[in-house]
Amino acid sequence: MKRQPPDFDPVTLEICRALYTSVAEEMGIALRRTAHSPNIKERRDYSCAVFDAAGRVVAQGDHMPVHLGSMPMAVAAALNETHIAPGDVIALNDPFAGGTHLPDVTLVAGVFARSRRAPLFYVANRAHHADIGGGSPGSMGMAADVYGEGLRIPPVHLVRGGRVNEDVMRLLLANVRGADERRADFAAQTGALQTGATRLLEIVARAGAREAVSYAAHLINYSARMMRAAIKEIPDGVYEAEDALDDDGVASDAPCVLRVRVCIEGARARVDFTGSAAQVAGPVNAVEAITVSAVAYVFRCLLGAGEVPASAGLMEPIEVHAPRGTIVNALPPAPVAGGNVETSQRIVDVLFKALARALPGRIPAASQGTMNNLTIGGVDARNGREFAYYETVAGGMGARPAHDGLSAVHTHMTNSLNTPIEALEYAYPLRVREYAIRANSGGAGKRRGGHGVVREIETLSDARMSLLADRRRLAPYGLAGGADGRAGQDSIVRVDEGGRARARRINAKGSWELKAGDRVRIETPGGGGHGKKV
């Protein structure tokens, strides 16, 4: 039987893949270079993507996996709840409308050709603002509900017809710490959207609107075919696993259990989280967008290192069932600050554990399984200005079947960097006292897990500190006989009246008042080992 020729040119398809991806990457570069906060400029806690006229993602930059997999739901909310005209920018951060947690603010804009009333594309970016209000500086404290975590923004016009909606901007800035920095970062996000729109219109000018739009659709279809091929390589069957978060940080010391059942049938996969814990009082609840994002990340890892378009097609062969009212699909007004950063990591861990039964030669042991979220804020005694410092701290990567895990890296759902010591000390009344590899924290095995880090920071002003972390009791698991990684631990170091430094262990979830001269010491988990040590 004669094969039908494809309805697209493969060479043109590859050119378009590179072009659309480069648009998302250039948006990220523009955002990073123009942002004011070290969190965006140095840590690169942002993501950018291109969407078609139906709101389907066409291309993404290699930015933050936890942002990218969930951003399509935010764009869908913006399209459903607002009308986007030329020059408009929609802002939202509502976790229950496609957001992740409140500090992550998404901006969406349409891309309009001069002769058309409807947009050809949409561009969007998401950036983690170092503060978005709430009871604790950094907006990552132990709130009892989403209202205590900060300012919740439904889809609203931040810019209309090319002009900033000053009423909305004034409302936002009146409810956050470091308002000048927040305004500057919003401006950077808006400018990055303009960069993306300009580049897309250049593509349209060269190729024509019909070809630009049709090849965006071809990219989505190509991604779907690639994902179906990857799923077909997994043996048919049902693969189950269980893992847990240490606790919810507020109401109970009991572990918060996550269960998953992965059903593979031919070229399709069903991922079912039935049996996971009910949503909890503490801020480790994940919304549905986070769970879908983590599933997308894990299955994208199975595609290998090939240049597969990071488009909506990747999720076409995958069905996700996350029961409502559980820790993997929380309902309002649940607190969700840690769902984005901690529970997302545990979803990845439990999914890889399940898939290790199907693909034992391809799946790594557990990485550190936490982002070790540290926030410190107050008033800078040097200049009287408010400050809010936020950082995720690296740890150990899980060992792979053929390689040791890397040490002191950000893994899985985070793809950020550390804040360089020079930038941190310049921007904040903080001093880094120690930054080192945490020796012997990686799990032993034929392949050793990566080591975590030690990061000790002294505050030079009175401040309030919040920590939101995990894997302090339940260590990252090893695979195939490899040992577990070492669990993390945290402490506050205070100098007593006699000049002696005394360390006091603290919980991994909570807030504390610090005096000038106090030090926060974070010791992050190591990754699990893989295989029995010979």
Q: Which three-class secondary structure string do you get for 242-287? A: EEEECCCCCCCCCCEEEEEEEEEECCEEEEECCCCCECCCCCCCCC
Which residues, other chains included, contact 458 with Cβ-Cβ below 8 Å and sequence gap of 6+?
430, 431, 432, 433, 517, 518, 519
Give yes or no for residue 304 having a pLDDT over 80.
no
219-244 mean pLDDT: 97
What pLDDT, on the 0 to 100 scale, is given for residue 497?
Answer: 81
Under the banding of pLDDT at 50, 70 and 90, the label for residue 115 is: confident
Backbone angles phi, psi at 180, to 5 degrees: -60, -40
C-alpha to C-alpha distances, 203 to 23, 178, 445, nearest whole angstrom: 10, 38, 51
DSSP 8-state secondary structure symbol assigned to residue 215: H
Give yes or no for residue 200 having a pLDDT over 90.
yes
What pLDDT, on the 0 to 100 scale, is given for residue 5?
Answer: 52
> Which range (200-209, 397-406, 492-501, 508-517) has the least confidence?
492-501
Give yes or no for residue 393 having a pLDDT over 70.
yes
Residue 519: is it exposed, middle or buried by C-beta count within 10 angstroms (0-12/13-18/19+)?
Answer: buried
What pLDDT, on the 0 to 100 scale, is given for residue 305?
Answer: 59
Nearest to 182 by CA among 45, 35, 297, 72: 35
What pLDDT, on the 0 to 100 scale, is given for residue 394?
Answer: 97
pTM of the model: 0.95
Give yes or no for residue 395 having a pLDDT over 90.
yes
DSSP 54-100: TS-EEEE-S--HHHHTTHHHHHHHHHHH----TT-EEEE--GGGT-S
Contact 485, 396 (CB under 8 A): yes
What pLDDT, on the 0 to 100 scale, is given for residue 330?
Answer: 98
The domain ranges of the chain are 10-223, 364-534
Helix (H, G, I), strand (E, B) or coil at 234: coil
Q: What's the 3-state SS for 321-375?
A: ECCCCECCECCCCCCCHHHHHHHHHHHHHHHHHHHHCCCCCCCCCCCCCCCCEEE
Under the banding of pLDDT at 50, 70 and 90, the label for residue 1 is: very low
Under the banding of pLDDT at 50, 70 and 90, the label for residue 373 is: very high
Under the banding of pLDDT at 50, 70 and 90, the label for residue 69 is: confident
CB atoms within 10 A of CB 17: 23
CA angle at residue 425 from 420 to 426, to 5 degrees? 100
Report the chain's terminal Cα–Cα distance, integer Å. 53
Edge-to-edge, what's the strand order for the sheet holding 453-459?
430-437, 453-459, 519-523, 489-495, 501-505
User: For residues 18 and 117, which has the higher predicted lDDT (pLDDT)?
Assistant: 18
115-140 mean pLDDT: 94
Over the stretch 458-487, which tens digit does the pLDDT of each residue have? 999 999 999 999 999 999 999 999 999 999
Give yes or no for residue 6 having a pLDDT over 90.
no
User: For residues 182 and 116, which has the higher predicted lDDT (pLDDT)?
Assistant: 182
- The H or E element containing residue 320 is strand 318-321
Give yes or no for residue 98 having a pLDDT over 50.
yes
Instruction: Read off the amino acid at residue 156.
Output: V
